[in-house]
């Protein structure tokens, strides 16, 4: 008795498509990451090695794309989960705000880490 | 063969809360669930209330949740519900509940008002702008094949009420309405594609589908609803880029 | 006319509805997606200590070398595998004819996942495994 | 509660919905139905709807006309049949334009297939010579009725027709031969509503549930027949009840004639294709009455197959058709065989028995669906009937497959058009006092009764006796026995007690009222059957095995007479073009 049709015509198609495209990219990123990082437990986790990696321009690029797409994919995913629920507008706006703000904050943190070296 | 039916009972007029009542009946493995419900109503307890009509899975009246899953009571035989031939008994009672997440009128009878509103929201009728020809509009067998499966839908609501997205957001149009939208969007005679795409391209529309496949499992007409919804999504994406 | 909702909540319905492949896959995908999102935050934060110098970073890394964290890392890999492989399945459903063979696809992908999971376990714990079996070898 | 509507249509099957589409803008129209519109019985129709489109091969509406007259065993009114067969082509094209998804042939035209009793002359120059089956049934796989019902409902949504779903109509308000409205119970709340109307149409479908084995839905309780009959309006040709040859054994669920149209054959215990003996030219595509009798004869003469429960069946063999045809053209019914009998039609033949299927008789109407109550054409003003509940009569003593879906759209539309004219010209006739008295009293009586009879028991006994004594083969003795039983059951019905005393969604109460309707309908059927001492079409009297045109080429009209025996009158058959001749296939 509560159904209301909202004809807002806010297309979700682009974010839906991007979710899949970023997902496909992340497959490669994940595979690459795991091969690089966990091929051997003895290697890869020390300060020097990490800094050395970050000094490599390709690695830097890779890391930047990874956090950008990963954050976008993850947060867009979280937002799509939240939208499954009926939310009052104020709640929706607040949650959306938290997602966007925290996402940007962590993205800046990640970018500044990479650019530090 | 003895079998226990554990039936959801609730009359909001008199009952504080819903409860389950057990009925032990003698039944044949080849009986349908609806036969047993009829038997209970006829012989044991006339107050048991449920809808039914055709008794062979074509009118869509008796969708309910049986052993945790939505199905038509008239299209399932007892022997398909965990009956073991070896000891000729049921270990557990057969649980019969109304379609999940719907308002309840009484016992197994639920309120379909929302379901029909969603159905109407997608403009479930052929819209043509060009004047019709003297004879039939031509359509190749392949054109019809595209919409044949979708036109099998009997509007039983088993799918929509099984979809977790409907449980969390009862404004979600749901698989049945989306399937109906497909039925017309992909009808080669229809001339309101854009109009209909606009209707389903909303946060409460097609994008609430997360390919959970509950709908496909529940559909008594074995329609692959998810496939149809994926065609809609692709069409929307194509339109946008 | 007065009608009543059954009072079945969302989570109760999700838990009680009889699930087949699709339902399980969705739940796994959802939980792993959330976990991975949380992890990406942790990951970014962890790496950010690199800028604070060697001490800070090594202190942090020492934490991650503890056995408990190794187990957690392994479990995280399970999430990664589940999400990635099921993500492939979803893409097949969305763009291909996946909805006709999604159950099979799920089964095969999960077999791959389990194998990869075990292999990774070997890598992560190779040190411990070698120690444990050192006497025998 | 009292509502006022220009037009009230009772029943949202094909006939009711088609009529609703004709009510013009600016006039109010309510469609009442005891189940949701899309649950109506039209949705179960499988095989097809007939029109001589000639999409597959040369055909003409006149051949269709001839087949229908012959199929009716010459009891059909030829003026009405002519209208129907001629209008069929327009009606189908119109449905197509409304959006109905028909199956198509390679040319993109509506596909057609053969169906029982539909033929054309082998040699066009000799129209009365030998005839061969023709592809005339338009279809949508084996869901023709389903998509037709959906399409009509969709168009009603488009037009904004006002529905009252789950309103159970109990009574007709009629005084001085002028209609004033109907009384209905809103099932969900138990409230009694009066619908004050200028015109009323009954399109309430059939009464299959009078019999034990039937293809009809549980809601097919003949309410329309009984309500009208109780109000002193006659019923026409009630003795003609169609038994469909192929119902699933035990259940009665229909296996469409399309199965035989596509090439399926009937076999007996010895695997013999027995229809070759009964209808040498068109064999398994003979009309339903012929095949049903042949099947009963086979069983009686010991060539049936006995099931574990002691009852007999015959076999419908589709195994030679191959998966291509079965899965493409007959998916639905093969699904039924699989689900309900565990038989895979690709590999094994399907166990079948004749099943009660269709009511040829009903509320007498003229070709515009106006109810006429005697042989002089006296009308009940503003009262219309269409569909299975009406008797125009286009089906006479036996309906041809696919002619019913045609009947409902053709005469539903004609009735709707007449109603539209009527509401423009006329005003509301005043409501009598206590219009809902009968309903109120009945409901009160049932709710407060302390008797000891159960609804289900009386219903079962009625269904058993009707099936045993008044079905495919009938005798005077048997029918009399059935009549005695009906009388007894009616007495016991007064003592009926129900468990559910509440108001909300009281299906116990509804079923009790339906039982009353079943009993009245059964009475009309049995008395009409007893009265007609000949065999014609679906009505076969073993004691009078010949057709008797001398005495019986006329329609029966049966009138209720309080608690006494009903009164029977007659009405002539309209014969325009084809004089009665021997009916042989
Ligand atoms: C299994 C099966 C297969 C068939 N196949 C074919 C076929 O292939 N071709 C063909 O031509 N014909 C076929 N028929 C016959 C045909 O389907 C029916 O005769 C036809 O659909 C009847 O339509 P209708 O509109 O008269 O009534 P229905 O469709 O039966 O509708 C009756 C309506 O009246 C309403 N109603 C009844 N009583 C009340 C009441 N008391 N109060 C309020 N509302 C009431 C019901 O709710 C319903 O909406 C088939 C029939 C069956 C049973
Ligand atoms: C590795 C390859 C990955 C693939 C192929 C992939 C694919 C997908 C897809 C297709 C969806 C959409 C599901 C839907 O809409 O129903 C999705 C959802 C999601 N993904 Fe990923 N993803 C991947 C990695 C990640 C990573 C690394 C994260 C974390 C940062 C993540 C977090 C999420 C979240 C939170 C969701 C929402 C879950 C839901 O809607 O139920 N994914 N993923
Ligand atoms: S799609 Fe299937 S489950 Fe859903 S309403 Fe239609 S028939 Fe029922
Ligand atoms: S269950 Fe729901 S999420 Fe999509 S696949 Fe079916 S509509
Ligand atoms: S009673 Fe018609 S679908 Fe079950």
Structure tokens at D178: 């002028």
What range defines the domain where residue B18 resides? Answer: 2-109
Q: Which residues of D are annotated as a binding site for substrate?
A: 244, 256, 357, 399
Tokens read off for D202: 């009954």
pLDDT the model gives residue D236: 94
CA of D9 to the centre of ligand 1 (A): 14
CA of B6 to the centre of ligand 4 (A): 28
Residues B125 and B225 in one domain: yes
C-alpha to C-alpha distance for D251 and D333, rounded to whole angstroms: 13
Q: Does C90 touch chain B (CB under 8 A)?
A: yes
pTM for this prediction = 0.93
Sequence-distant (6+) residues with CB within 8 A of D541 are D474, D475, D476, D529, D532, D533, D534, D535
Give the number of whichever ligand sits closest to the CA of residue D142.
Answer: 1
Question: What pLDDT score was predicted for residue C136?
Answer: 66
CATH number of A12-116: 1.20.1300.10
Annotated domain spans of chain A: 12-116
CATH number of the structural domain spanning residue B43: 3.10.20.30
Ligand 3 within 6 A of B69 CB? no
- Delimit the domains of chain D by residue range: 249-355, 437-540
CA distance to partner chain A, nearest, from residue B222 (Å): 26
Ligand 5, residue B52: give the atom nearest the CA. Answer: 1
With an 8 Å Cβ cutoff, the interface of chain B facing chain C consists of 10, 12-13, 17-18, 65, 67-69, 98, 100-101, 103-105, 111, 162, 164, 167-168, 210-214, 216-217, 224, 226-227, 230, 233-234
Burial of D434 (C-beta count, 10 Å sphere; 0-12/13-18/19+): exposed
Together in a domain, B147 and B227: yes
Residues contacting B43, CB < 8 A, separation 6+? D454, D456
Q: Is C26 in Cβ contact with B164 (below 8 Å)?
A: yes
Shortest Cα–Cα distance, D382 to chain B (Å): 30
Cα(D488)–Cα(B195) distance, integer angstroms: 62
User: Given B89, B109, B129, which residue is the final one in a domain?
Assistant: B109
Interface contact D35, partner B, CB < 8 A: yes
Q: What are C136's two structure tokens? A: 């025998």
What is the spatial distance between Cα D546 and Cα B99, in angstroms, rounded to a whole number?
55
Q: Which residue of D has its CA nearest to C2?
A: D189
Structure-token pair, residue C121: 């376990």
Q: How far is CA C102 from the centre of its chain?
A: 20
B105 and B119 inside one domain: no
**φ/ψ (deg, to 5) at D248:** -60, 135
Q: What sign for the dihedral angle of Cα B72, B74, B80, B84?
A: positive
Contact A37, C77 (CB under 8 A): no
Q: In sequence order, what DSSP letters do the residues of C73-88 get, joined into one string? A: HHHHHHHHHHHHHHHH
- Given a contact cutoff of 8 angstroms between Cβ atoms, the answer to whether B209 and B178 are in contact is yes
Is the beta carbon of B226 within 6 A of some atom in ligand 4?
Answer: yes
Q: Give which of C123, C31, C43, C39 is closest to C82, Cα–Cα.
A: C31
Distances (CA, A) of D204 to D41, D78, D365: 9, 24, 14
Chain B nearest CA to D535, separation (Å): 31
> How far, in Å, is the centroid of ligand 2 from the Cα of C98?
17
CATH of the domain at B183: 1.10.1060.10
Contacts of B121 in chain A (CB under 8 A): 5
Q: Domain-by-domain residue ranges, chain C? A: 66-137
Please write the tens of the pLDDT for every residue from B112-154: 999 999 999 999 999 999 998 989 999 999 999 999 999 999 9
From CA D534, how far away is CA D552, in angstroms rounded? 7
Of B121, B169, B241, the CB nearest to A84: B169
**CB of D191 less than 8 A from some CB of C:** no
The answer, yes or no, to whether any atom of ligand 5 lies below 6 A from the CB of B62, is yes
* Binding-site entries of D for FAD: 11-16, 33-48, 223, 388, 404-405
Nearest to D137 by CA among D38, D42, D67, D82: D67
Ligand 4 centroid to B208 CA: how many Å? Answer: 8
CB pairs under 8 A between B and D: 149
* Tens-binned pLDDT, residue by residue, of chain D (585 aa): 899 999 999 999 999 999 999 999 999 999 999 999 999 999 999 889 999 999 999 899 999 999 999 989 999 999 999 999 999 999 999 999 999 999 999 999 999 998 888 888 888 888 777 888 899 999 998 899 999 999 999 999 999 999 999 999 999 999 999 999 999 999 999 999 999 999 999 999 999 999 999 999 999 999 999 999 999 999 999 999 999 999 998 888 998 888 888 889 999 999 999 999 998 888 888 888 889 999 999 998 989 999 888 889 999 999 998 888 888 888 878 888 888 888 888 989 999 999 999 999 999 999 999 999 988 889 999 999 999 999 998 999 999 889 999 999 999 999 999 999 999 999 999 999 889 999 999 999 999 988 889 999 999 999 999 998 999 999 999 999 999 999 999 999 999 999 999 999 999 999 999 999 999 999 999 999 999 999 999 999 999 999 999 999 999 999 998 878 899 999 999 999 888 888 777
Counting Cβ atoms within 10 Å, is residue C58 exposed (0-12), middle (13-18) or buried (19+)? middle
Res A39 pLDDT > 60: no
Residue in D with minimal Cα distance to C1: D189
In degrees and rounded to multiples of 5, residue D264 shows phi and psi of -70, 150
DSSP for D106-145, written as a single string:
TTSSBPEEEEEEEEEESSTT-TTS-EEEEEEEE-STT-HH
To the question of domain D437-540 being in CATH 1.20.58.100, the answer is: yes
The confidence score (pLDDT) of residue D282 equals 83
DSSP helix/strand/coil, D512: helix
Q: Which of D97, D143, D336 lies at the smallest CB-CB distance from B56?
A: D336
Instruction: Using the atom order of ligand 1, give the atom closest to the CA of residue D227.
Output: 41
Output the residue whose Cα is nearest ligand 3's atom 5.
B155
Distance CA A79, CA A99 (A): 8
Asked whether the CA dihedral A82, A83, A87, A89 is positive or negative, the reply is: positive
Tokens of D102: 């028909």
Three-class SS state of D157? helix
d(CA D43, CA D254): 13
Q: Chain D: nearest CA to C7, how far in angstroms?
A: 20
Same domain, B97 and B122: no
Same domain for B199 and B89, yes or no, is no
Residue A1: its pLDDT value, please?
41
Distance between Cα A77 and ligand 2 center (Å):
6
Nearest CA to ligand 1 atom 20: D42
CATH number for D249-355: choose from 3.40.50.970, 3.40.50.2300, 3.90.700.10, 2.60.40.10.
3.90.700.10
């Amino acid at each position: 008795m509560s159904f209301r049709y909202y004809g807002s015509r806010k297309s979700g198609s682009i974010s839906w498509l991007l979710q899949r495209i970023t997902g496909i990219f992340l497959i490669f990123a994940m595979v690459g990451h795991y091969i690089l990082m966990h091929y051997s437990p003895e290697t890869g986790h020390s300060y020097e090695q990490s800094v050395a990696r970050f000094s490599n321009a390709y690695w830097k690029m890779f890391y930047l794309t990874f956090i950008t797409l990963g954050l976008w994919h993850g947060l867009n995913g979280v937002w799509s989960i939240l939208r499954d629920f009926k939310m009052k507008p104020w709640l929706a706006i607040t949650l959306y705000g938290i997602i966007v703000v925290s996402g940007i904050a962590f993205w800046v943190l990640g970018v500044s880490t990479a650019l530090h070296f | 063969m003895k079998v226990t039916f554990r039936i959801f009972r609730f009359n909001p007029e008199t009952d504080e809360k819903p409860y389950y009542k057990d009925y032990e009946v003698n039944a044949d493995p080849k009986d349908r669930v609806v036969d047993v419900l009829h038997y209970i109503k006829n012989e044991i307890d006339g107050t048991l209330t449920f809808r039914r009509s055709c008794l062979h899975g074509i009118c869509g009246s008796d969708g309910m949740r049986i052993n945790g899953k939505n199905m038509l009571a008239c299209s399932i035989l007892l022997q398909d519900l965990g009956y073991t031939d070896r000891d000729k008994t049921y270990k557990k009672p057969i649980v019969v509940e109304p379609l999940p997440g719907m308002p309840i009128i009484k016992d197994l009878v639920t309120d379909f008002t929302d379901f029909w509103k969603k159905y109407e929201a997608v403009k479930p009728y052929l819209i043509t702008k060009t004047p019709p020809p003297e004879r039939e509009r031509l359509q190749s067998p392949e054109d019809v094949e595209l919409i044949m499966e979708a036109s099998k839908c009997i509007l039983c609501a088993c799918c929509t009420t099984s979809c977790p997205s409907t449980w969390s957001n009862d404004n979600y149009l749901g698989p049945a309405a989306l399937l109906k939208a497909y039925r017309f969007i992909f009808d080669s005679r229809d001339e309101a594609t854009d109009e209909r795409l606009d209707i389903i391209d909303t946060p409460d529309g097609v994008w609430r589908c997360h390919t959970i496949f509950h709908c496909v499992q529940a559909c008594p007409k074995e329609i692959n609803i998810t496939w149809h919804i994926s065609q809609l999504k692709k069409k929307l994406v194509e339109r946008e880029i | 006319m007065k009608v009543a909702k059954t009072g079945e909540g969302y989570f109760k319905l999700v838990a009680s509805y009889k699930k087949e492949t699709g339902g399980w896959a969705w739940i796994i995908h959802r939980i792993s997606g959330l976990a991975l999102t949380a992890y990406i935050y942790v990951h970014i934060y962890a790496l950010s200590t690199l800028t604070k110098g060697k001490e800070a970073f090594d202190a942090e890394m020492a934490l991650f070398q503890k056995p408990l964290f190794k187990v957690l890392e392994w479990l995280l890999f399970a999430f990664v595998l589940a999400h990635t492989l099921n993500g492939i399945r979803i893409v097949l459903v969305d763009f291909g004819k996946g909805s006709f063979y999604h159950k099979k696809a799920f089964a095969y992908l999960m077999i791959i996942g389990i194998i990869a999971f075990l292999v990774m376990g070997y890598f992560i714990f190779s040190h411990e495994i070698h120690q444990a079996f050192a006497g025998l070898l | 509660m009292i509502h006022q509507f220009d037009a009230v249509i009772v029943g949202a099957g094909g006939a009711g919905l088609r009529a609703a589409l004709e009510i013009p803008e600016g006039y109010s129209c309510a469609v009442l139905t005891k189940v949701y519109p899309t649950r109506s019985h039209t949705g179960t129709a499988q095989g097809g709807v007939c029109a001589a489109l000639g999409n597959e091969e040369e055909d003409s509406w006149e051949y269709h006309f001839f087949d229908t007259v012959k199929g009716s065993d010459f009891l059909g009114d030829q003026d009405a049949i002519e209208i129907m067969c001629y209008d069929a082509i327009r009606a189908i094209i119109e449905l197509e334009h409304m959006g109905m998804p028909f199956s198509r042939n390679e040319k993109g035209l509506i596909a057609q297939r053969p169906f029982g009793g539909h033929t054309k002359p082998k040699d066009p120059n000799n129209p009365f010579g030998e005839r061969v089956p023709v592809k005339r049934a338009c279809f949508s796989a084996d869901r023709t009725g389903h998509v037709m019902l959906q399409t009509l409902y969709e168009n009603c949504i488009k037009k904004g027709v006002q529905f009252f779903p789950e309103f159970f109509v109990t009574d007709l308000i009629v005084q001085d031969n002028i209609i004033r409205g109907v009384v209905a119970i809103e099932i969900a709340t138990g409230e009694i509503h009066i619908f004050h109307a200028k015109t009323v149409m009954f399109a309430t479908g059939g009464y299959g549930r009078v019999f034990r084995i039937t293809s009809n839905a549980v809601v097919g309780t003949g309410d329309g027949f009984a309500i009208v009959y109780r109000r002193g309006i006659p019923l026409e040709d009630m003795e003609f009840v169609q038994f469909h040859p192929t119902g699933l054994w035990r259940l009665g669920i229909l296996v469409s004639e399309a199965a035989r149209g596509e090439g399926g054959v009937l076999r007996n215990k010895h695997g013999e294709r027995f229809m070759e003996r009964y209808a040498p030219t068109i064999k398994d595509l003979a009309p339903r009455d012929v095949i049903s009798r042949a099947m009963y004869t086979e069983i009686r003469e010991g060539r049936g197959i006995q099931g574990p429960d002691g009852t007999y069946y015959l076999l419908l063999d589709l195994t030679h058709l191959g998966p291509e045809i079965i899965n493409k053209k007959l998916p639905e019914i093969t699904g039924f065989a699989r689900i309900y009998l565990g038989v895979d039609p690709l590999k094994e033949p399907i166990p079948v028995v004749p099943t009660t299927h269709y009511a040829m008789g009903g509320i007498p109407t003229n070709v515009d669906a106006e109810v006429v109550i005697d042989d002089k054409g006296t009308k009940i003003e503003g009262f219309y009937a269409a569909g299975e509940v009406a008797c125009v009569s286009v089906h006479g003593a036996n309906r041809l497959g696919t002619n019913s879906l045609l009947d409902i759209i053709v005469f539903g539309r004609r009735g709707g058009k007449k109603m539209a004219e009527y509401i423009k010209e006329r005003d509301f006739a005043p409501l009598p006092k206590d219009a809902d008295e009968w309903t109120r009293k009945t409901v009160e009586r049932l709710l407060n009764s302390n008797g000891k009879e159960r609804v289900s028991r009386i219903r079962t006994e009625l269904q058993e006796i009707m099936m045993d004594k008044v079905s495919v083969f009938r005798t005077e003795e048997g029918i009399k026995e059935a009549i005695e039983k009906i009388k007894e059951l009616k007495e016991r019905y007064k003592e009926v007690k129900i468990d559910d005393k509440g108001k909300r969604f009281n299906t116990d109460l509804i079923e009790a009222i339906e039982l009353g309707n079943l009993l009245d309908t059964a009475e009309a059927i049995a008395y009409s059957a007893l009265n007609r001492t000949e065999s014609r079409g679906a009505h076969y009297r073993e004691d009078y095995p010949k057709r008797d045109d001398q005495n019986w080429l006329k329609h029966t009209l049966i009138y209720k007479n309080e608690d006494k025996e009903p009164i029977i009158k007659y009405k002539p058959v309209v014969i325009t073009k084809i004089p009665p001749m021997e009916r042989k296939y």
